Amino acid sequence: MSFEFDTDTAVSRAGDDLFHARVTDRWNTFAGPNGGYVLATATRALAEIMPAPHPLTVTGHFLRPLKPGGAEIRIHRIKAGRRHATARASVSQHGKDVLVVLATFTDLGSVKGRELVLGEPPALPAPDAAIDPLRELDAAMIPSIARRMDLRVGEMPGFARGEPSGRPEFTAWMRFADGRPPDPVALVFFCDAMVPTVFEIGELVSSTVEMTVHVRALPADGWLALRVRTRHVIGGYHEEDAELWDSTGKLVAQSRQLALLAR
Amino acid sequence: MSFEFDTDTAVSRAGDDLFHARVTDRWNTFAGPNGGYVLATATRALAEIMPAPHPLTVTGHFLRPLKPGGAEIRIHRIKAGRRHATARASVSQHGKDVLVVLATFTDLGSVKGRELVLGEPPALPAPDAAIDPLRELDAAMIPSIARRMDLRVGEMPGFARGEPSGRPEFTAWMRFADGRPPDPVALVFFCDAMVPTVFEIGELVSSTVEMTVHVRALPADGWLALRVRTRHVIGGYHEEDAELWDSTGKLVAQSRQLALLAR
């Protein structure tokens, strides 16, 4: 059997520096394919040509709306050093660039060095004691991406009750619904897998301009705890900062995206 | 008269997509030319070919140690849309890429939209009542970059007294020493202009792997208030998150870098 995420982010080599992919409609938000899903697909293509196995820092600039359907991913390797390897990728659909990516990979399994963690995982009830928010929602309110994941929250988000809290932040447990364990490529996706924080300030559309993910460690199996927060909306632009903590309480990824409210 | 920052980040066109620059030794840390200074130089080259005037989000991957001396900057425009323009740049020295950049520009002067700022500028005494840390230091302890700036702090950083505080964070006022007003390109520099936060946990070397700057607004003239903080050192890798607030108390830039302690 193969997992949904692996099937739907698969890339096939079509040339020295060219891969084909298929953006499915199974990871759709209400605004089309999720950006993190397509960024993860590009990351998989990069992994094919990188001498190091894991994405360490991945930046994507989203140029045009993503659509379900075929995509071409063109790769250019920039440097392969002893510790870090850097490359770029361009994802195009119908002959136009939709996403450009710059990434550095490393081997997270061989990382050794100082540890000092001053942050903490989000305070969430244990997954078994938490709420499945999808059970509370009308099926028509659930986009396809949410069916790919198990979600658990401490309390129903305000926006889902029609009462945005005014605090643009969420905490939640997440995992793939089909049991696929998390790995660095999946973390690129999970950083962007929650609904936009600005839903909690009454906004309904947020378009990502740029998103950078730092994979900080190999995740353990099990649930991921997400904390995502916006602190500054300025001229409609806002940052969305996410952290992912694994089931052992370890920080495994951080991301920041710059996004724009609907005009 | 021309300002030091403008002279030292100047680029001259040498072809359709090629610029020449000179990395001077006037922005050196103890580890060579400051990364934010060279990233700002690349941003200036990008500005030359962009249809929009201001960097909005700039990501640089640092591939090799920067050196004073000549540099070539090769530009490739990726997309010029109505609101956003995206391009990449490669900075090379002696024929080798030292820094690769992916950036999206916009016109920050025409940005209109919702405002909601939940963060606050750092709590610092007024610049006139604050401490000039360079006055307290032996001249041999002051790298050239510090002579390009005025700095003011609420109290002397622990590392400068030989007593790292254990808290990897700083707050400070900053401006150019020669009176050059801040602008978006300068913000790219100022986000990286403080000594590494990890000096406060007893580390002496921090190498930037990747740095992303979001310019959030056009800065007013005068001092900039910096807050920079590290929360997670994992396997020697650590993020360094900076905010810059202008003299009117407005957030004007945010940055995050992923850096690595000396091995």
Instruction: Give the tens place of pLDDT for each residue, B95-138.
Output: 999 999 999 999 999 999 999 999 999 999 999 999 999 998 88
Instruction: Give the three-state DSSP class for A220.
Output: coil
Q: Give dist(CA A160, CA A141) in Å, integer.
A: 9
Instruction: Tell me if B61 and A63 make a contact (CB, 8 A cut-off).
Output: no
Instruction: Tell me if A231 and B119 make a contact (CB, 8 A cut-off).
Output: yes
- Answering whether pTM is above 0.90, one says yes
Q: If you average pLDDT over residues B207-236, what whole number do you get?
A: 98
φ, ψ for residue B56, nearest 5 deg: -105, -50
Quickly list H helices, A89-158: 144-147
B3: tokens are 């300002």
Q: Which residues contact B194 (CB under 8 A, 6 or more apart)?
A: B170, B172, B174, B226, B228, B242
* Chain B from 43 to 102: CB within 8 A of any A CB: 56-57, 59, 61, 63-64, 78-79, 81, 84, 86, 88, 90, 97, 100, 102
Instruction: Give the tens place of pLDDT for each residue, A18-41.
Output: 999 999 999 999 899 999 999 999
Instruction: Give the three-state DSSP class for A109.
Output: helix
B163: tokens are 């007593």
Instruction: Give the three-state DSSP class for B129.
Output: helix
User: Which residues in chain A are contacts of B238 at CB distance < 8 A?
Assistant: 116
Per-residue HEC secondary structure of A32-49 comes to EECHHHHHHHHHHHHHHH
Burial (CB count <10 Å: 0-12, 13-18, 19+), residue A94:
exposed
Task: Tell me which residue in A59, A79, A237 faces B63 most closely, judged by beta carbons.
Answer: A79
Q: B190: which DSSP letter?
A: H
Q: What is the mean pLDDT of chain B?
A: 97
Distances (CA, A) of B259 to A214, B155, B212, B221, B235: 11, 26, 12, 31, 11
User: Which residues in chain B are contacts of A201 at CB distance < 8 A?
Assistant: 116
Instruction: Tell me if B119 and A232 make a contact (CB, 8 A cut-off).
Output: yes
Supply the DSSP string of B17-84, one letter for each residue: TEEEEEE-GGGEETTEE-HHHHHHHHHHHHHHH-SSSEEEEEEEEE-S---SEEEEEEEEEEEE-SS-
A251: tokens are 């920080």
Instruction: Give the tens place of pLDDT for each residue, A178-223.
Output: 999 999 999 999 999 999 999 999 999 999 999 999 999 999 999 9
pLDDT on residue A263: 57
Distance from CA of B103 to the nearest CA of A (A): 8
- ipTM metric: 0.97
Does B109 contact chain A (CB < 8 Å)? Answer: no
Q: Of the candidates A223, A218, A167, A221, which has an alpha carbon nearest to the alpha carbon of residue A193? A: A223
CB pairs A-B closer than 8 Å: 175
